[in-house]
Structure 1
């Protein structure tokens, strides 16, 4: 990490530098998901369950269709995940107030507890990495991540971000 190129040279990255960035992303993601994976393993859940719980927590009352759009999974796959979360008492599905065909999703107390446990593990890892990298690196990292998002995903991301600002 000592041979970090200057900002100007980053505009002209070599294929090798890009490969290293891609590999760093793969290994970082593996680390980022490792702690939640260990927690979920004991409950027979996977990453799809984690993502569903995360986004239901971020948008209480979100619809199944909105969750489908955010997660980019098939309806069949999401239904399987939601069915297990509902049966296990982690998620509650309520009939829509305006459109009775809609299902609004909420975490139960047990679901909120699991979400906190999963998020705490990831926040701890991110907090340590951000502290080690410093404020300008954190801002740059966020810019890179936002620049990699597809336009549709950026809209979802901005909507969630705007809820907390």
Structure 2
């Protein structure tokens, strides 16, 4: 049960989260628009860049989406020449994903805007604020306690 005395503070936190996320995603959104892509495509590019050789099944797990939900965006980035795939060395049925040179450049530009934004904010607010922010994000991302 939510403490009724904390309603205003918690709603303020929700609003700040919304406005912060909007500011965080605006620069990449503008770049994606030129490619006729959206945030889901950015997430695909981001995690394929961080984990070269990731399988489609592994990517589904990281993103928390179904195979059907991933199929369209993955096909679009592949057709745009941003993501490629190769058969796994030990199991030819498994496809390993990687960014193409063009995909790597786009991902670097997209994520680069966000890295710069975080770098500036963390430098201004300090290491304690950065640590606290990471702890809040980790707690939000963790599965709810039973």
1:50 aligns with 2:6: no
Q: Distance in 2 between matches of 1:149 and 1:88?
A: 31
Give the 3-state SS of the residue equivalent to 2:52 in structure 1.
coil
Aligned match of 1:109 in 96, 101, 110?
Answer: 101
1:32 aligns with 2:10: no
Q: Within 5 Å, give how 1:82-161 maps onto structure 2.
A: 82-151=74-143
Structure 1 unmatched runs, 5+:
1-12, 153-165
> Following superposition, which runs of at least 4 residues in structure 1 exceed 6 angstroms of deviation?
none
Q: Distance in 1 between matches of 2:90 and 2:127?
A: 44
Give the 3-state SS of the residue equivalent to 1:14 in structure 2.
helix
Q: Distance in 2 between matches of 1:97 and 1:117?
A: 31
Paired residue for 1:62?
A: 54
CA RMSD of aligned residues (A): 1.5
Q: Distance in 1 between matches of 2:115 and 2:134?
A: 15
| Number of residue pairs the alignment of both structures matches | 140
Cα drift, residue 101 of structure 1: 1.8
User: Normalising by structure 1, what TM-score?
Assistant: 0.80
Q: Distance in 1 between matches of 2:55 and 2:49?
A: 12
Q: Distance in 2 between matches of 1:37 and 1:15?
A: 32
Cα drift, residue 136 of structure 1: 0.7
User: Normalising by structure 2, what TM-score?
Assistant: 0.90
Paired residue for 1:162?
A: none
